[in-house]
Amino acid sequence: MKLWSFFGDECFNNGELYKPLYIECVKRMPKRSKKQIDEDENKIIIELKENSKKSIDKIAEKCNFSRQKVWRTIKRLEDNKTIWGYTAITDDEKQNLKHYTVLVKRSTHPFNKDVVNDVVKGSLEDRFKDEKISIRNILFVHGEYDWIITFTAPDIKMMKRFCEKMMEMFGDYISDYKVLETIIPIRREGIKYPNIEKQAIFL
């Protein structure tokens, strides 16, 4: 008697891999819908957003997926740049840093290729590598302002130096800008700030 069995992605005949039948079986199996694939990917992304250090085993258990499926999905998401980086969310105060947001309004002067390369390649940040200034975000937005830049600096003096350097490099393309200093975070990258008691003092 022939005994056909399936294990993972392989088909066996009395314990021996039988590829022709496996291929035929795969052809006849209904393909997963794009909607189902998107839903499965989203479940894994939610877990990674909650904690990017969460193990594949933990994600698999939470999503009710196999370990292999989670690994393959994460690899695919990284390869197609749906996931294009991981980071650590840190307490700026404990690092003796202040967090600033710059709202930038563009002038009508068009960007040239050199300026575009400076923005994309991070030339502004390169000017401050030895001065503890770190650009967190550069966002092109729709609204009253055109750009949002967030960064950390040790103090107001260094914040002003950053803005002066920004105007020195891109002044022809900026008609106005405003600087906001963060008092205390409530959420960052979807993660709640852990010091609830400190939040309550300010709110």
- The domain in which residue 50 lies consists of 4-79
Digit-coded pLDDT (tens) for 141-155: 999 999 999 999 999
Residue 25 falls inside a structural domain: yes
Per-residue DSSP letter, 90 = -
CA distance 38 to 58: 20
pTM: 0.76
Tell me: do 27 and 50 sit in the same domain: yes
Tell me: do 107 and 69 sit in the same domain: no
Digit-coded pLDDT (tens) for 61-120: 999 999 999 999 999 999 999 999 999 999 999 999 999 999 999 999 988 888 888 777
Q: What is the CATH number of the domain that holds 167?
A: 3.30.70.920
pLDDT at 129: 73
- Structural domain total, the chain: 2
Contacts of residue 152, defined as CB under 8 A and 6 or more positions apart, other chains included, come to 92, 95, 97, 98, 99, 100, 132, 133, 134, 136
Tell me: do 123 and 177 sit in the same domain: yes
Please report, rounded to a whole number, the percentage of residues in the chain having pLDDT higher than 70.
Answer: 84
**Residue 121 parent element (H or E):** helix 113-121
Digit-coded pLDDT (tens) for 149-192: 999 999 999 999 999 989 998 999 999 999 999 999 999 988 88
Contacts of residue 45, defined as CB under 8 A and 6 or more positions apart, other chains included, come to 77, 82, 83
